[in-house]
Structure 1
Amino acid sequence: MSRIEPLTLTQLDAELQAIMSAGEDMMGFTPNDGLIMARKPALLKALLGLVQAVYEPGSVPIGLKKLVALMTSSASGCRYCEAHTGFGALRVGVDENKVAAIWEYPTHPLFDAAERAALDLARNAAMVPNAVTDQDFAALREHFTDEQIIELVGVISLFGFLTRWNATLATDLEAEPEDGVQGLIK
């Protein structure tokens, strides 16, 4: 049970309802973390801007961004975010076998060298203390430009915030992502 109860959509003003509607359009369900965050409207508004900036079309494919989000969430130990990001990856067309094999990425044939470099970064950045090395960046630079690396670090950083938020608040997982990744996320 969430440590702070989510507000209901009817408790929100029109501007916050529009933000939550945008979240539902993006995610396929109304996220409980947003309904909790709505208790501090400025925070929810700022988060929407960050989410839009992180996921706007860029030069990193959306599927890779979703896998990086999944690895960050999984390595951080936030089951709420792990379910959300796994569900999000499936929604944008990432092969469910990749989602299921996320921790096998270093050797699994479904993952290419660029994905491995990005997932190494996500895993190492999610560790406390941060375990990213110069070697991680050397591997990234074989596949990504500085702009693309910034896009990847943006995803990792967004989920650094969200994993802390949701794990701390014990946010209740919604049925859609829970059902959507059942059997895929361990």
Structure 2
Amino acid sequence: MPRIPGVARKDVGLLIRAGYWLAKRRLGAVPEPFSVLARHRKLFMAAARHEMAAEKACAKLPKNVLELAVYRVARQVGCSWCVDFGTMLMKHGGLDIDRLKDIDDYLTSPTYTRQERLAVAYADAMSAMPPAVTDEQVAELREEFGDEGVLELTYQIGLENMRARMYSALDIRDQGFSSGEACRLPEAEITATRGGARACPD
């Protein structure tokens, strides 16, 4: 279980219940971060508005570039929920998820394009502690993607760092989105095996 348990649909107000319904309709299940954040109504609403606005605002970067950079952050930070969800987004977006097994060798693997290598390297540099971004790196990104593209990339990498670190701190783990076996939250009680994925009880 997460360190702060999620809230069941029957226990939330109308606005959050509508958010649950929309999420379940779009994704097939209520993401566990939603049900956990539902314990703080104002923060839940602020986060939902922000996520929708950020998604709509980012339209300059190629989808494969953006999704790979965000996925890389999730891997680097160690957020299994984010890795699971990000893999699902790439799969449903028609992107090749088989090559994710080569993500650690992105600089040399022929399965990654130059643009993708630049974005993943930037994700690594931004996610390092302390950040290791250089002037030369940003200049190369600006030449490749333009200022708006670099701002989108920077914003989304920063946003994923926030998500991944928050979900890791709350022990929110993978939910089965990438396998198509996501639990129907929050109606089902989620059980966890230490170090493994969550599973829905029968």
TM-score (normalised: structure 1)? 0.87
- Report the secondary structure of 2:53's partner residue: helix
21-30 vs 72-81, greater mean Cα deviation: 21-30
RMSD: 1.9
Q: Which residue in 2 is equivalent to 1:184?
A: none
Offset of residue 25 of structure 1: 4.4
How many pairs align? Answer: 180
Structure 1 residues 19 and 76: alpha-carbon distance in aligned structure 2, compared to 1, 3 A threshold: same
Is the contact between residue 80 and residue 173 of structure 1 (CA under 8 Å) also seen in structure 2?
A: yes
Offset of residue 180 of structure 1: 5.1
Does residue 1:93 correspond to 2:94, yes or no?
yes
Task: Report the residue type matching 2:149 in the other structure.
Answer: Q
Q: Which residue in 1 is equivalent to 2:77?
A: 76
Instruction: Give the helix-richer structure, 1 or 2.
Output: 1
Is the contact between residue 68 and residue 118 of structure 1 (CA under 8 Å) also seen in structure 2?
A: yes
Does residue 1:174 correspond to 2:178, yes or no?
no
Is the contact between residue 81 and residue 167 of structure 2 (CA under 8 Å) also seen in structure 1?
A: yes
Is the contact between residue 70 and residue 85 of structure 1 (CA under 8 Å) also seen in structure 2?
A: yes
Does residue 1:30 correspond to 2:24, yes or no?
no
CA distance in 1 between counterparts of 2:173 and 2:107 reads 32
CA distance in 2 between counterparts of 1:31 and 1:74 reads 19
Task: Report the residue type matching 2:22 in the other structure.
Answer: A
Is the contact between residue 125 and residue 132 of structure 2 (CA under 8 Å) also seen in structure 1?
A: yes
- Report the secondary structure of 2:177's partner residue: helix
Q: 5+ unaligned residues in a row in structure 2: which ranges?
A: 182-202
Is the contact between residue 84 and residue 177 of structure 2 (CA under 8 Å) also seen in structure 1?
A: no
Alignment of 1:1-186 (within 5 A): 1-56=1-56, 58-177=59-178, 179=179
CA distance in 2 between counterparts of 1:114 and 1:155 reads 16
Q: Which residue in 1 is equivalent to 2:184?
A: none
CA deviation vs aligned residue, 1:46-104 (integer Å, no higher than 9, x gap):
21222222222511123322211101111112122122112221121110223222222
Is the contact between residue 83 and residue 174 of structure 2 (CA under 8 Å) also seen in structure 1?
A: no
48-57 vs 104-113, greater mean Cα deviation: 48-57
CA distance in 2 between counterparts of 1:64 and 1:41 reads 33
